[in-house]
Structure 1
Amino acid sequence: MAPLLVPEHGTRKRPHCATCLRPQSACICPWITPLVHQVEVLILQHPLEVDNAKGTARLLQLSLPHSRLLIGEVFDPQLLTDSPKHQLLLYPETANEQALGLPAPPVLDPACLSDPTQLRLIVLDGTWRKSRKILYLNPLLQQLPRLSLRDMPASHYRIRRAQAPDQLSTLEATCAALAQLEGDAEKFQPLLAAFDGFVAQQLAYRPTYT
Structure 2
Amino acid sequence: MSDSPCPTARATCARCLRPQATCLCALARPTAHRTEVLVLQHPQEQRQAKNSVTLLRLSLARCEVVVGERFAPEALQALLHRPGRHTRLLYPEVPAAPAPAVPAISWDLPVRLVVIDATWRKSLRMLLEHPALAALPRLSLAAPAPTCYRAIRAARRADQVSTLEATVQALAMLEGPGFDGAPLLAAFGGFVAGVAARGGVRGKTDCL
Same fold (TM over 0.5): yes
- The two structures have a TM-score, normalised by structure 1, of 0.83
Q: Deviations over 1:134-163 (max 9, x none)?
A: 212221111110001123222111211012
The offset of 1:197, in angstroms, is 0.3
1:197 lines up with 2:193 in the alignment = no
Matched, 1:86 2:86: yes
- Report sequence identity in percent: 48
* Contact preservation (8 Å) 1:34, 1:62: yes
Residues 23-53 of structure 1: CA deviation (Å, up to 9, x unaligned): 1111111111111101111010001111100
Give me the whole-angstrom Cα distance separating, in 2, the residues matched to 1:200 and 1:122: 28
Match of 1:132 in 2: 124
State the aligned residue count: 190
SS in structure 2 of the partner of residue 60 of structure 1 = helix
Aligned-partner SS, 1:171: helix
Alignment TM-score, normalising by the size of structure 2: 0.84
Runs of 4+, deviation exceeding 4 Å: none
| 1:6-27 per-position Cα deviation (integer Å, ceiling 9, x unaligned) | xxxxxxxx51111111111111
Judged with a 3 Å threshold, the aligned counterparts in structure 2 of structure 1 residues 208 and 44 are, in CA distance, closer, same or farther, namely closer
- Contact 1:87 1:121 (8 Å CA) reproduced: yes
Paired AA for residue 89 in structure 2:
L
Residue 57 of structure 1 contacts residue 171 of structure 1 at CA under 8 Å; is this kept in 2?
yes
The Cα RMSD (Å) is 2.0
Q: Distance in 2 between matches of 1:186 and 1:141?
A: 26
Structure 2 residue aligned with 1:118: 110
CA distance in 1 between counterparts of 2:122 and 2:53 reads 14
- Which segments of 5 or more consecutive residues in structure 1 lack a partner in the other structure? 1-13, 98-102
Judged with a 3 Å threshold, the aligned counterparts in structure 2 of structure 1 residues 108 and 124 are, in CA distance, closer, same or farther, namely farther
